[in-house]
Structures are given as structure tokens and as C-alpha cells.
Amino acid sequence: MNSTGTPRHFLNIDDFDYAELRGMLNAATSLKTRLKDGDRPKLLEDKVLAMVFERQSTRTRVSFDVGMRQLGGQTIMLSGNDMQLSREETLTDTGRVMSRYVDAIMIRILSHADLVELSEGSSVPVINGLTRRAHPCQVMADLLTFEEHRGKIKGAKVAWVGDSNNVLHSWVNAAELFECELTIAVPDEYHPEKDLMLDIEKAGKWVKLIEDPREAVEKADLVLTDTWVSMGDTDAAERRRVLKPYQVNTSLMSLANKDALFMHCLPAHRGDEVTDEVIDGPQSVVFDEAENRLHAQKAILCWAFGVDVN
């Protein structure tokens, strides 16, 4: 709960100011260091996190489960089919009921409106594990990873190449707050939808939208991509055809700074959006990035519960 008695939800990057997000990143760094030193502070002892998944998950499921356990808490894993959601109970009612049983809810659900509805009914913190609109936990892990390798991201040049999706949306929000230059290269066929375009326009000088992937990557400090075919997409063959020029390969990476990092939130479709040479190459930090989901989310959980990490 915050000072007004309302739950501390973590739904979108742009719900926060820079200082709040920086505090979470600092907490993530502290928790990661302590873990590697063998120190596992039981900051969330006796707390129970409900994890609700509409679709399959590897990183989100395991990292939240392990993170909660490392902090001394417990988890309950549920799918939509396990719950009365499959029989059309409203999200508001679900949030009201779950709040009577658990201390926080993490949900991975395609509809962002459904996430918001659940949070409005919940009297305990709700954490966005992924929606079609946003993936804020992923971008917090991305920021943590970049700064571990290259220092503060302020002023860095970041390039996004490929499809416009939820991870990109959260990066647009982060670019404005962290003052890094984000250049987005996407084909006109997959131009950002209205909601994302509004946030791109709001970000002003910090975000630039173009079509040419080579222009976007030139002199970049960080190159990002994601799968071309997301959950629920039915036009896989057409997507691969249109997005082929946006593949991150050694030729494209050669245009970035020589010490540029490559990130992908995973799972990767090798040979589509990225080649083996890049994802397994020396510039790739995708597995550090995946590990940092654990540490970033532990910090987010502590923030949601109002627990001081230090």
C-alpha cells in the first residue's frame, strides 16, 4: 500500500517518474549482489504471490516464482482455465476475491484493458507480467543489463529493429524517462498502432520512427529486436516476408558501434529476426538480460510491498 492506502500496482513504465524507476533498478542491483554473495534476505516472508497466466510462459513464470521464494515468500500458479475466468467471471470480481486470499497478483494476459480492470478490483498490488500493450518487467531487466555492461543509459543511442510490439511500447516510455535516444525501424505494413504512436509523439526528441533498419542501427550503443510472430498472430508467413529486411545479422550489427550490445527478450526464432552469429556472438547479452528478469522483478515485488531493500 502507498501513503493513501491504495495498492502499489506495477502496470506500465509511464506510470512512474524517473526517481521511482531508478530506485527499483538500484534495489535490483543490490539484491543481485547480495544473492551472489550468498545473502538471501527474507524481505517478503509469509507473503503469497498469485501468478496468473493466460498463455504459456518460461521466463516470466520461473523468474517470478524463484524470485518470490528467494525473498522468503510463496507462490500459487494459475491458468485462466483453472479459474472462473473461463466461465466469464468478471476481472473486477476476480480481483476482489483474490485480494482476500493473496498478498499480490502477477498476471500475464493479452488484453491490457483486462489487466487494468483486474487492478481496479484488487486491493493488493497487481504486477503486469505482459500484455499486448506493454511489457514493463522486461524493459526494467533490459535497462539493468545495459547499465551493468555500459554504465548509465542516459544519452545512449538505442535502436529497435523489426515489429512494433509491447516491448517496444515499454521502451518508448523508458526512453523519455531515462533520456536515451531511441530510433525505431519498422516496415510501414506494421506501423505502430494509435496508442503506441501517441506515446512516440509524447516522447518528443527522445524517440524517432523511421523505416530503414540500417539508418536506425548506425552508431547505436544497443540494438534490440523481438520475435516477428507474437502470441495470437495468424499471418506468420506474411510477417516473415515483410520483416526479412529487418533481420539482425552480422552485416546490420557492423553498422552499430563496435562495442554495441545486442538484446532480445527471448524466446528467439533463430534465422528469422536474428541470426545465430549475432545471438551467440560477443555483443549479445541476451542471457544476462534473461537472468536480470529475476533481479529486476524481485525489486519490483519489494517496491509493490513497500519494503526497503537496503
283 has catalytic annotation:
no
Marked catalytic residue, from 59, 108, 133, 264: 108
132 an active-site residue?
A: no
265 carries an active-site annotation:
yes
For β-strands 157-161 and 74-79, DSSP reports them as: unpaired
HSE-CB of 265 using CA atoms within 13 angstroms: 28
Give the amino acid at 281.
G
| Catalytic residue flag (residue 226) | yes
9, 135, 169, 264: the active-site residue = 135
Task: Judge contact between 274 and 162, C-beta under 8 A.
Answer: no
Phi-psi label, residue 106: left if phi above 0, alpha if psi -120 to 50, beta otherwise: beta
Catalytic residue at 293?
yes
Q: What cell does 116 get?
A: 487494468
* Catalytic residue (one of 138, 247, 283, 297): 138
Grid cell at residue 270: 533463430
Return the closest-CA partner of residue 260 out of 172, 176, 151, 158: 158
Q: How far apart are CA 286 and CA 92, in angstroms?
A: 36
- Catalytic member of 293, 295, 297, 302: 293
Could you confirm whether 100 is annotated as catalytic?
no
Whether the CA torsion 12, 13, 18, 20 is positive or negative: it is positive
| Residue closest to 150 by CA, chosen among 21, 298, 262 | 262
Helix pair 18-36, 166-178: axis angle to 10 deg = 110
State the catalytic residues.
108, 135, 138, 226, 265, 293
